[in-house]
Amino acid sequence: MTPKQKTYRLDRIKLVHVAKRELGLDEPTYRAILFAQGGNESLSAMSLDGMNKVIDYFKAQGFKLRKAAGDRKQATGQDAKKVRALWLFLHELGAVRDPSEAALTAYVQRIAGVDDVQWMRGTRKVPSNPAKRHQDRAELVIETLKKWAMRFLPADIVRLKGEVRERHQQGLLTPEQLQCAEIAFGNGLAPDVGFDKHNLVWDNLRAAVGRPFPPKSN
């Protein structure tokens, strides 16, 4: 690599870091985006082409090289982080085709009636549910995302269990992966069991097959 190429690469890395800061991304979301867009959860190990794809993705989410006055950052509150994490989780399940912030914003607008994740505070009238005439917007968005995930989670858990059994029969599981498998298979999933327990089982099954989500950082 020539000195000029090294300098360009370093500039790309710095730009990704600036974008991460400006967009207010937490570490799990950031790593998931690196993996999804650039093909590697580690920026230092990523190809230049991958970095450029990551930067293009950040630009599509609103990142600007020269931030103009009045531009909004991504919300960084706990509710916003949870909504964003669920959105990426749904993309991993194959339920969401477009994991971008723009697509998430459109979803939040439809469900909560606001045009930005950071404005989910407050309540929204729910005419279809007399028991909850007004519901917290963030709670409403999170609840609908979890219900959406439950349309896909049970089937994916069955598929992952089959993969874990096959890998176990082949002697391919490490002690750590065996421990995750034991946790997953030890948690019964009756029809009335909700999202959180399904998610716990799914997380451990993913770890058991060596594909934790979000990917672990180096």
Closest CA to 147 of 189, 88, 86: 86
Residue 84 lies in a domain: yes
Q: What is the pLDDT of residue 157?
A: 96
Domain that holds residue 173: 153-208
Distances (CA, A) of 50 to 27, 30, 37, 39: 18, 14, 7, 6
Residues 85 and 113 in one domain: yes
Residues 132 and 166 in one domain: no
How big is the CA angle at 155 (ends 149 and 156), to the nearest 5 degrees?
Answer: 75
Q: What is the pLDDT of residue 71?
A: 38
Residue holding tokens 């600036």? 18
**How many domains is the chain built from?**
3
Summarize the confidence of residues 202-210 as an average pLDDT.
95
Summarize the confidence of residues 164-180 as an average pLDDT.
95
Q: What is the pLDDT of residue 138?
A: 82
Q: What is the pLDDT of residue 19?
A: 87
Q: What is the pLDDT of residue 117?
A: 67
Summarize the confidence of residues 107-119 as an average pLDDT.
75
Residues 8 and 51 in one domain: yes
pLDDT digits (tens, 9 = 90+) for 46-76: 888 888 889 888 888 888 765 433 334 444 5
Summarize the confidence of residues 15-31 as an average pLDDT.
87
Residues 108 and 143 in one domain: yes
Residue 27 lies in a domain: yes
pLDDT digits (tens, 9 = 90+) for 178-192: 999 999 999 988 878
Closest CA to 202 of 172, 217, 180, 175: 180
Average pLDDT over the chain reads: 83
Say how far apart CA 64 and CA 51 lie, in whole Å. Answer: 16
Helix (H) or strand (E) holding 9: helix 3-23
Q: What is the pLDDT of residue 73?
A: 47
Residues 145 and 158 in one domain: no
Q: What is the pLDDT of residue 4?
A: 67
